[in-house]
Amino acid sequence: MRKFKILLLFLLLLGFGRTALAQGEPVTDQANLLTEAQEERLTEQFQSLREEYGCDIGVVTVNSCQGKRIQDFTDDYYYQQGYGVGEDRSGVLLVVSMGEREWYISTRGEAIRIFTDYGLGILEEEIVPFLSEGEYEKAFETFGELSGEFMAEAAAGHPYDTNHTYDRPMPLWLRAVIYLAAGLVLAGIVLAVLFGQLKSVGYAKRAHPYIREGSFQVTGARDLFLYRTVTSRKIERESRDGGGSSTHRTSDGGRAGGRGGSF
């Protein structure tokens, strides 16, 4: 009897441990968009984020949504496959359906606060171009990198939103242009200084040295108003829009945030 109780307690603890940890696969490539090596790299990337921030993250590719809207398909897949960490099943899941050429990101639990509507818009801008060009590994890698940045910022107490915007890294080509322009400006300044030193004749602020005494007399003077220049400047005002996350009810009775579209 005692052994039975110990075994029962062990099974209960085992079951509790499983519900506390994410069970969904980090990468599920049903549409065969990735090589085995690519899938392994992404899996390692996503698992690292799970462990560091206690928020699940996954990518799923499918051939079709089986007649469902991609939002409903993603929400159902998230719940049925056991994604999510903790009691609120916190996590973010990206589903790509090749048959409909659609994508959707579903968020639950704490991830709804981490991935605001604004933040999901940033993900869309960064990921969809890669999906459209068929660079699927790059799209999913970017999804993981941005998710990590969003999680880190939220962990620090200020998730990316309309009142705390995301600064995109400067593209390499733009950096090169800026460095080249700065070099040209610096070279121009040096040349201007050198040419200035070559001038042997200075200039006088007044014309008195060149006027014969008594040869020029002012007989009258008056002030004329010719024109007026008005300069206007736009005053930028800080947005007071609080942003936040839009949510919807899922078929399992929970709430989820999300965003999706075509590619």
Q: What's the average pLDDT block by block, 10 residues per block, for the chain (263 residues)?
A: 43 41 85 98 98 97 97 98 96 98 98 98 98 98 98 96 80 43 58 63 61 64 60 44 86 96 97
Is the separation of the CB atoms in 63 and 31 below 8 Å?
yes
Tokens of 50: 């799970």
pTM of the model: 0.68
pLDDT digits (tens, 9 = 90+) for 207-251: 666 666 666 566 666 666 565 555 545 434 434 345 899 999 999
* pLDDT of amino acid 210: 62
Residue 121 CB neighbours (<10 A): 14
